[in-house]
Structure 1
Amino acid sequence: NAINVVLDALLIGGFGPVPALGVAGVAAASTIAQWIGAAWAVAVVVRRLGWPAHLRMSEARGLLRVGGDLFLRTGLLTGYLLLTTRTATSLGAESGAAHQAIRQFWIFAALGLDALAITAQSLVGYFLGSGWVSEARRVAGVAALWAVVLGALLGLGMWLFRDGIAALLVPPAAQALFFPAWLLAAVVQPINALAFVTDGIHWGTGDFRYLRNAMFVATGAGALGLWAIEAAGIASLLLVWAVTDGWIAIRAAAGMLRVWPGIGAAPLARPNR
C-alpha cells in the first residue's frame, strides 16, 4: 500500500523526467505495487520453507478446486458492487458521487472487519484440525458476538460523524442524496459484520463451496432487486442501498445458519474426534 501511494503521487501528476499519466498512472501504480507485493510474498515463503521438491497433482487439483470456489465467491461480491455503482450512476451524477463515497467507506469498514474474520478463521481452523469441534464452535460464537458489537459501534460512529464525513467526501450538491443512504448503510453494519465474520469462520472450516453457493443466491437476489429499480424507473439511491442491505442480510443469514443449527453437511455440526 505504501508503494502504491508513492507511485500514485509520482505517476499521476508526473515528477521530473517521469511524465504525468493521469488515470493510466493509477493503473500502473496499482499493477507495479501488486507485482512487488506478490514477489515479496513468494520470497518470504521460499526463504522459510524452501522450494518444493515436487508437485503432487492430487494436491494441485484440490488447490485449484478451492481457488475456483473462492474466485467465484469474490467475483460475485465484486460484481454486485459494480452493479450497484452502475445503477447509482445511471440515476445521475449526484447519486453516483454519493454512492461512491458510501461504497468506499463500506469497503474500508469491510477491510477492518476482516481482522476479526481472519482471527476467527485461524482459530476455527486450528481447533477443527485438532478434532476439538466444540471449541471451534465456541470460537465461532465469540467471534459472532464481537462482530455484532463492533458492527454496532461502527454504525453508531457513522451516524455521529455523518456531517463531517459528508463534508469530507461528498460535494454539496450530492449531500441530500447521501444522508438517507448513509444512515441506511450505518444501520446494517452489525449484520454486515456478521456476514464477513461468518465468511472467516467458513474459511477456517474449509467450507468454500458453501460460501460460493451462498454468494450465488445473495448476488442473484441483489441483481434482481437492482434490475427492478431500473425497470421501474425509480430514481432512488436509498433503494439501491436498501437492496444492498438485503444482499448483506442474505449473506449473514446463510453464514449463521451453517453454524447454528448447522444446515447441510456443516463441518461445525460434527462431533469431537
Structure 2
Amino acid sequence: MENLLPGNPTPLRAGNLLNALLSPILIFTFGFGVSGAAIAGVISEYLTASILLWKLNGKVLLIAPDVNVGRFPQYLKSGALLIGRTLALLITTTLSTALAAREGPVPMAGHQICVEVWLAVSLLTDALALAGQALLAGGVSQGNYSQAREVVYKVLQIGALTGVALGFSLFVGFGALSALFSTDSEVLEIAKSGTLFVAGSQPVNAIAFVLDGLYYGVSDFEFAAYSMLRVFDKQFVIGTISSIFLLVAAPLFGLPGVWAGLFLFVALRVVAGLWRLQTRDGPWKFLRTDMEQDSV
C-alpha cells in the first residue's frame, strides 16, 4: 500500500486519524455514545475509500474501455466464495458474542476486553500474511517454484514464532493491558481469567492468518471458502462444529466455554489449511519437489 500510494497521508493513515479524532468528539462532546463511534467509523471508511480511488485513478485505468465480459463469471464466483467464507466467520463470532451476553453485563464486559485484545493482536500477523501473499504470487506467476516453496515454509515458520512471541507477551502483560479498558474490579477480574485464551491462542491465530494470505497468493479462493465447509473429505462443517460446541459449552461452563469454542474455530481452520498444503494438489502442485513432479 505504501509503495502503491506514496506520499502522506496515505488512505489508511488519513482514515484512522479521522476516526481517532471524530470518535471522542461525537461520543463525549455531542453525547452520541455508541452511535457516535459508529458514525465516526463510517465517515473514516468513506474517506479512506475516496482517497484510495483518487490516488489509484492517477496510476491505473479503473474502468477499462475493453472490459473482458467473459471473465465476469470468474470474478463473481471468487467474490461469492469469499463472501460465504466471511459469513461463516461472522456467524460463529456473532454467536459467541450472543452467548457471552447471556452471562450478564459484567461478564460480557470482561469478555469484550478479551476478544478485542485477542483480535487486535492477532491482526498484527496480517502484515506477515500480506507479505507472504505478495511474495508467493510473484514466485508462482514467474514460474520460480523453488522460491515459492521457500516462501510458504518460511512464512509459516515466522508466523508460528511470531504467534509464540505475541502469546508470551500477552501472558505476561495482559493484566496491565486490560486495565486500559476499564477500572471496574469485577470486569478486570473476569478479563484476567481469559488470559490463557487470549495468550495461548496466538500461535494458532498467527498460522490461521498466514494460511489465509497463502490461499490468496495462489488464488485458491475455492478452498479458502470450502475450508469453512469441509475438513478432509468428510462433510464436517467447521462453522457448524464450532457453533454446536459453543451452544453446548457456553451454558455448561460460561465464558470459558465461549473462549474454548472460538479457539476450536480457529484451530479447525489451521487443520484444514495445513492438510490442504500437505496434499500438494491443485494450485499447490508447486510444493512438490522436482523429483516428485517427475514421478507423477
Assess same fold via TM > 0.5: yes
Amino acid at match of 1:266: G
Shift of 1:34: 1.0
The aligned counterpart of 1:181 is 194
- Quick one: distance in 2 between partners of 1:164 and 1:269? 47
The aligned counterpart of 1:268 is 284
Shift of 1:99: 1.1
The aligned counterpart of 1:220 is 240
- The answer on 1:87 being equivalent to 2:137 is no
The aligned counterpart of 2:18 is 3
Deviates most, 78-87 or 163-172: 163-172
2:117–2:198 CA contact under 8 A, matched in 1: no
2:277–2:284 CA contact under 8 A, matched in 1: yes
- Quick one: distance in 2 between partners of 1:103 and 1:121? 26
Alignment of 1:139-154 (within 5 A): 139-154=151-166
Shift of 1:157: 0.5
What TM-score do you get using the length of structure 1 for normalisation? 0.90
Aligned length: 265
- The answer on 1:195 being equivalent to 2:192 is no
1:191–1:252 CA contact under 8 A, matched in 2: yes
- The answer on 1:65 being equivalent to 2:77 is yes
Higher relative contact order (CA 8 A, sep 6+): 1
What TM-score do you get using the length of structure 2 for normalisation? 0.83
Shift of 1:235: 4.5
- Quick one: distance in 1 between partners of 2:215 and 2:222? 10
2:103–2:254 CA contact under 8 A, matched in 1: yes
Cα RMSD (Å) of the superposition? 1.9
1:137–1:268 CA contact under 8 A, matched in 2: no
Identity %: 26
Amino acid at match of 1:46: N
Looking at secondary structure, tell me which structure has more helix per residue.
1
Alignment of 1:1-273 (within 5 A): 1-14=16-29, 19-50=30-61, 51-170=63-182, 171-216=184-229, 217-230=237-250, 233-262=251-280, 265-270=281-286
- Quick one: distance in 2 between partners of 1:179 and 1:69? 38
- Quick one: distance in 2 between partners of 1:67 and 1:115? 22
Unaligned runs of 5+ residues in structure 2 are 1-15, 230-236
Shift of 1:200: 0.4
1:259–1:266 CA contact under 8 A, matched in 2: no
